Structure 1
Amino acid sequence: MDQGDAAVWAAGIAAVAAVSGAAVGGLLTSRALRRQVRDQGDVEHQHWLRQERQKACTAVIDSYEAFSRVMVDCAAVVRRGAHRGADLMNRVQETYVVSANACMHLVPLGPEPLVEASKRLHRAIGAAARSMAAWDEAHREPSRSRERETADFEAAFAGLNPAYNRFMDQVGHVLQTPALRGD
């Protein structure tokens, strides 16, 4: 083999190596880009999830504050034993519906501890609203004793703050940590 043949073989081998290197480099670059796009999608989803949780938690907090103000008015009425009419019960119903909807909006957003705290708060709000409705119904019958309904309302009213505090503990925990895949 003379120098000319060796040069042709060397050029051929170099060309094959260059094409192979380009193909391998292209494959690795393609994989890296796909991973980068997937990771960026995960980051964007985590950001969206965190924003949605913040909005949903804010809605729960705002609706609970409105509901609890109505419940404070109810507690004053119950403790005085004086009926204030349909207006108060309309406010109970309106604020209950808003609070219940806000609590349930968190269910698909997770994570599970926040969902459970939201459900617990929803149950406490429902118990308070139902107990006030039962007290109101008993109050409409003057001959009926309202002792049981009063005790039930007081117990439900007392259960609101602990449920809200547990919810707020979870809100603080969830919103202080970044949203993670699988939350």
Structure 2
Amino acid sequence: MKDFVIPLVLAVIGLAATGLGAVVGARAAKFGAEKSAEAVRRQVQDQGAVEHAHWLRQQRFSTYEGFLEAWDECLRLTQASAEADDPDSTGLEDLRLAADRMAGRARRIAILGPSEVTHAAESLAETMQEDVKVAVRFIEVAQASIAEVDGRPIRAEAVSEATEEYRHRTQQVADLITAHRSQGRDLRELDGHPLLRAAMESIDQCRRTSGEAREALSANVERLSAAMSEAFSMVDVLTRNKEARELSRERFTSAAREALSKTPTPDLRSDRG
């Protein structure tokens, strides 16, 4: 019996050892597969992060560059308008479209970031669009002033003619009086004389013409003064915006340069096996 039990026990132990070895081997294979899969996953993630970082940097660079191109176009159009002898609405419309392009590219920058670049771009775009609104208002004020002044012309020629007629009639009356006195005649005889009536009419005409000219001149001066006052206010706004843009552009270029130099990189972990 003893001889039978011992070989049986040894056989069972051998079988168990074989099964245990199989289990251990299977688990080791599974662990190895999992490690391999994790390594592949991390490699894919890292590669994706690298590609995304490269894509983001390229998108930012392109958008920043496009924004500055729109900004430079606005500067060119502004300078051209300032140098023009007779600025028209066509140039202003071109400037408005360029400012709108600036605003559109600033909105794209807001998507790509970072926030420092976004804020500077938005500030640049806002001040430029405000300048366009001010320029539109300036043209409206100027055109309204010109129309009102043209509607109340100062009739300088009429005043000159009436004044000359008055002087002529006055001289005629003076000559008439001198002639009567030299003849020893009574000046009361001149009552109702046609020259006296003509002189009085010329005086009335000169007074009316001069009064109309004074009224037109006063109204025109008042209108032009109001327009000039508003124009000075607009100049103050444009000056402030120009100074603000100079600071915003400096902030934009500095922030953009920093953002492009610090493009996100993949997370390189130290716990890899």
Q: TM-score range by the shorter chain?
A: 0.7 to 0.9
1:102 CA drift (Å): 1.4
Cα distance in structure 2, aligned partners of 1:104 and 1:165: 19
Match of 1:164 among 219, 225, 249: 249
Shift of 1:4: 5.4
1:93-132 equivalence runs, <5 A:
93-132=96-135
| Matched residue type, 2:47 | Q
The residue that corresponds to 1:151 in the other structure is 236
Of 45, 48, 62, the match for 2:55: 48
Count of residue pairs brought into register by the alignment: 177
Code of the residue aligned with 2:260 in structure 1: it is: L
Report whether the alignment pairs 1:16 with 2:23.
Answer: yes
In 1: Cα distance, 2:94 partner to 2:243 partner: 19
1:96–1:125 Cα contact (<8 Å) kept: yes
Instruction: Say whether residues 1:35 and 2:120 are aligned partners.
Output: no
Secondary structure of 1:161 counterpart: helix
Rate the CA distance shift 1:71–1:162 in 2: closer, same or farther, 3 A. Answer: farther
Q: Which residue of 1 aligns with 2:138?
A: 135
Q: Which has the larger radius of gyration?
A: 2
Q: Aligned-pair distance for 1:179?
A: 2.6
Is contact 2:81-2:87 (8 Å) kept?
no
- TM-score (normalizing by structure 2): 0.58
Aligned partners of 1:55, 1:120: CA distance in 2, in Å? 19
CA RMSD of aligned residues (A): 2.2
Paired residues of 1:128 and 1:157 also in contact (CA < 8 A) = no
Q: Which moved more, 1:12-21 or 1:26-35?
A: 26-35
Q: Which has the higher contact order (CA 8 A, sep 6+)?
A: 2
**TM-aligned CA distance change 1:160 to 1:61, over 3 Å:** same
- Asked if structure 1 preserves the Cα contact closer than 8 Å seen for 2:50 and 2:265, the reply is no
Task: State the secondary structure of the residue aligned to 2:111.
Answer: coil
Structure 1 stretches of 5 or more lacking a match? none
Mean Cα deviation higher: 22-31 or 61-70:
22-31
